[in-house]
Amino acid sequence: MKRNVIISAAAAAVLTVGGPTAAALAATGDTARTTTMATAARADVTAESASDAALKHYPGVVESLDKDGAVWHVNVIAKNGKNAEVEVSTAGKATTRDTDNDNNGNEYAPLIAAKVNAKKAMAAALAANKGAVVWSVDWDDDDDNGSTYWDVEVKAKDGTTKHVHVDPTSGKVTASSSDSNDNDDNDDNN
């Protein structure tokens, strides 16, 4: 009988001390899982992913995209020339910020007909700049000589940025004469 009392007392002591400790350890594990999931949810969306999310939200072709803080601003031109500015959050959620219902089909005809779209231009720029990430891309048809090209800004691991031009027909990458080596993460043009 005395042995059963001692075993019962020992079991009660283990449960009294071990219960809160086990609960604390379980909570710590849950917190770690929650923290990991929260960190994953805040993972930065790449330019390519932002482009995909914007086009899924508002079908058409990307005219431009740039990163402003943690948000991507993507200008999408529909096949009929109507356009929308789509914001893509760090979680990859796309929302329409502004739309222009003017029918500018003729103005955007070269962009819509381009063989090399924004996504292909980004891929070409990255292939020519190993280890870099795309920071912005713009369709440029206002050049003095009337040529059209993609202006892709890439950012190297050391924080330097540079612009490259991508031909919308061939996908050929050339260095821009307007390279920028600032470390500013925000677009000052907004």
- Is residue 11 in some structural domain? yes
Could you count the other beta carbons within 10 Å of the beta carbon of residue 39?
Answer: 9
**pLDDT tens per residue across span 116-162:** 999 999 999 999 999 999 999 999 986 556 789 999 999 999 999 99
Count of domains forming the chain: 2
In the chain the first and final C-alpha atoms are separated, in Å, by 82
**pLDDT tens per residue across span 17-74:** 555 544 444 444 444 443 333 333 445 799 999 999 999 999 999 999 999 988 999 9
Are 51 and 65 in contact by the 8 Å Cβ rule? The answer is yes
Tell me: do 82 and 55 sit in the same domain: yes
Tell me: do 5 and 91 sit in the same domain: no
Confidence (pTM): 0.69
For residue 8, the enclosing domain spans 1-41
Tell me: do 53 and 143 sit in the same domain: yes
pLDDT value of residue 144: 58
- Is residue 185 in some structural domain? no
The DSSP string of 13-55 is HHHHHHHHHHHHHHHHHHHHHHHHHHHHHTPPPPHHHHHHHHH
Tell me: do 53 and 138 sit in the same domain: yes
**pLDDT tens per residue across span 61-85:** 999 999 998 899 999 998 888 889 9
Tell me: do 79 and 156 sit in the same domain: yes
pLDDT value of residue 186: 44
Classify the phi-psi angles of 186: left when phi > 0, otherwise alpha if psi is within -120 to 50, otherwise beta: beta
Rounded alpha-carbon distances, angstroms, from residue 49 to 41, 100, 118, 122, 139: 14, 24, 12, 11, 18
- Is residue 182 in some structural domain? no
pLDDT value of residue 154: 96
- Is residue 9 in some structural domain? yes
Are 173 and 165 in contact by the 8 Å Cβ rule? The answer is yes
- Strand 71-77 versus strand 83-88 pairing type: antiparallel
**Does residue 100 register a pLDDT over 70?**
yes
